[in-house]
Structure 1
Amino acid sequence: MNKVRIAVDVMGGDEEPQVVLDGIDAALAADADLEVLAVGPADIVEPFAEERERVSALVAPDVITMEDDPIEAVMHKRKSSIVLACRAVKKGEAAGFFSAGATGAMTAAATAYVTPFKYLTDTGEKRPIRPCIVSTIPNRAGGETVFCDLGANPDVEPEDMVRFAQMGATYARIVCGIANPRIGLLSNGTEDTKGSHFTKSCFPLMKQKVKGFAGNCEGSDFTSGNFDVVVCDGFSGNVALKAIEGTAKLLLHELKGVLLGSMGGKVAALLIKKSLKGLQAKLSGDSRGGAVLLGLRGVVLIGHGATSVEAVKNGTLATAQAVRSNLVEMLAASMDNIVR
């Protein structure tokens, strides 16, 4: 594999920084060609880097917390780990960035400093595209469904949805290995005439411009396996994502109660303990590491706030893999009128 350096936010997530440091160590052990730029306070990142050959330190005295207003924090905490890491990607000091920090701050900082691609309008004007947050959800067909946008853009135009679909399809091919992804537009029914005024305006454009567009899909299609990519605006996507996560937690909670509620259940739990752990890991998202912010001139991956060593490891490795697969340029090539 090619050597690649990934910036990792040591202060990202709800857990102690040691969880992130342990995750970095695990990623380094798994990838001999990986280098890490550890970003955070000097008393944490400098000793860590001094003891490891493939780690360097980027001192960031400020921290953006989950409680901070994303825009204000990015504007005023310019020496925070999130801002300095995004600037490192922009300057070529790191090829990609992973953080389990606040999604809003990550999106704002990445948009400001890593910067999105621009496209030419019909009048010849250059405008930035809207990045979208993309992740995958396990489906009943045994594969994964690519889901975008998860919350970067609550309000969008139909042309933005076309680009989300094109980038989502490219992500499905490059990252998930789906040769000919089937793309669905999230609606309240599968019929072509279903949907709000907004989704009805998106449908003909996606049918015309998106290769592999398979029509409208419903909320159940996130996990049905009938579609490989589900596209929606960031408001709907964020609501749907949290509903799916909440349902998964409820099912695991109820299953645990059933199994531990009787002696027979406890015996059954012991017999399927390994399978239950596998199910929990699959639903937790730790194996995926996080969600990718697509449409930028660099790779930025956002981990879940309640992160773990395994999630940091996988998020760092996934960021490196996206860089090696030339995902950014492949995404740019998937959209029309992009300015290089």
Structure 2
Amino acid sequence: MLVDIVLDAMGSDKAPEPELRGAILACRHLPVRIHLVGPEDKIRPALRAHLKGENLPIEIVHASEWISMDDKAASSVRSKKDSSMRVGLKLVREGKARGFVTAGNTGAAMATAKMVLGALNGVDRPALATILPTGAGTPCVLLDVGANVDSDPQNLVQFALMGQIYARSVLGIAKPRVGLLSIGEEDSKGNAMTKETLPLLRELPINFIGNVEGRDLFQNNVDVVVCDGFVGNVTIKTIEGLAKLISDELRQALKATITSQVGALLSRRAFKDFKRRLDYSEYGGAPLLGVQGACIIGHGSSNERAIMNAIRVAVQFAQADVSRHIEAALKPRDPGPLPPFNEVKADPFRDDNGLIPPAA
């Protein structure tokens, strides 16, 4: 059975080209029906040119407006009532689709999702999660990375529950190790909020391992890392900046001499595999956890492969019924184990390294 997913056709920096190509790739490789949302006069001729007569489950839903990266999130969400984001999210709210994917303005996407979909029962504040690669090849979930600048201990408790459910149901990690991001592993380390949060997390029916430090993010020491949105956003932006520096410096070093150029040529396959393991496009987008339905937000520079993988995440999110399990986990109840749910033990769309093989 095909899963209906809405794709904001006007989100990315180079929209709608990456979205159109990504939608086509997704329909070829995933059990999905795509609802492309945007100005029909702009999308239809371009889509027809890409399809070249191929019959794929893609339909166009007209939206006369879209929100650009330069638009201010708060004002554009209110003023652009027929934006591709709002029209697309309404399809999810009305039950015509199971999930929504956009590579557009992150602030606007989060605000529109909260407004149109609303929060799940028991969720005070939705959280934006991101997936980080680790040295062992397994992913690490970091949340919140920007949905909430200010949070309290109870918010972090909810983030921990939502994060571990996502890690189990979508990433297939049977017993996720959950850690609280702090400045030291000892219980005495941290600020007032982390110290107050720590004992609350220990009371949860999850595999909580205590405080973790920033260096643990990539060492396969923890599967879900919880923090407030301010710390999470600074962390992820620092990682992006460092990754760019390393990439730029490595590229220059490999071009410096004839010897290094020959070495680079001989190591081309290894470098290609290395780049692929760290490439954001392989991990899809960031799920906004805690809203009604799947809402996946991709990077503005997403290419067609990143779009396809974001759609894949939305499909898995819907198939695993993540939202229902989050509500169940946050529903007031007597202490006890979390209810069983549909776990994705292995991703049929990925290879043994956790990545989708390149298209033939």
CA apart distance, 1:53? 4.3
- 1:12 aligns with 11
Q: Is the Cα contact below 8 Å between 1:162 and 1:210 reproduced in 2? A: no
**Alignment partner for residue 285 of structure 1, among 277, 280, 287?**
280
CA RMSD of aligned residues (A): 1.6
**Is 1:100 aligned to residue 100 of structure 2?**
no
Partner Cα distance (2:329, 2:274) in 1: 34
Select which of 318, 322, 325 maps to 1:323. Answer: 318
Confirm or deny: 8 A CA contact 1:165 1:210 kept in the other structure. Answer: no
**C-alpha separation in 1, matches of 2:224 and 2:4:** 30
Q: CA deviation at 1:326?
A: 1.4
- Mapped contact 2:32–2:57 kept (Cα < 8 A): yes
- Contact 2:12-2:18 at 8 Å conserved across structures: no
**Residue identity opposite 2:7 in structure 1:** V
The residue aligned with 1:26 is 25
Corresponding position of 1:43: 41
Residue of 191, 216, 219 corresponding to 1:221: 216
| SS of the residue 1:58 aligns to | strand
Which deviates the most, 158-167 or 11-20?
Answer: 11-20
The offset of 1:175, in angstroms, is: 1.4
How many equivalent pairs are there?
A: 328
Q: Secondary structure at the match of 1:191?
A: coil
Q: Are the equivalent residues in 2 in contact too, given 1:135–1:292 (CA < 8 A)?
A: yes
Tell me the distance in 2 between the aligned counterparts of 1:260 and 1:131: 45
Pair 1:188 & 2:162 matched: no
Aligned to 2:346: none
Runs of 4+ with >6 A deviation: none
CA deviations 1:252-279 (Å, max 9, x no partner) are: 1111111111111111111121221222
Give the equivalent residue in structure 1 for 2:309: 314
- Alpha-carbon distance in structure 2 between the residues aligned to 1:19 and 1:28: 14
> Where in structure 2 are the equivalents of 1:1-340 lying within 5 Å?
2-31=1-30, 33-47=31-45, 48=47, 52-119=55-122, 128-337=123-332
Bigger Cα displacement from structure 2, 273-282 vs 236-245: 273-282
State the match for 2:352 in structure 1: none
Instruction: Say whether the 8 Å CA contact 1:45–1:59 is kept in structure 2.
Output: no
1:325 CA displacement: 1.6
1:331 is displaced (CA, Å) by 2.0
Match of 1:125 in 2: none
Question: Residues 170 and 313 of structure 2 are in contact (CA less than 8 Å); yes or no, is this contact kept in structure 1?
Answer: no
State the 1:129 CA deviation. 2.0
Q: Secondary structure at the match of 1:195?
A: coil
Query: How far apart, in 1, do the equivalents of 2:328 and 2:121 lie?
Result: 12
CA deviations on 1:74-104 (whole Å, 9 max, x unpaired) are 1110100011111111011211000000110
1:297 match: secondary structure: coil
In the alignment, the residues of structure 1 paired with residue 266 and residue 164 of structure 2 have an alpha-carbon distance, to the nearest angstrom, of 40
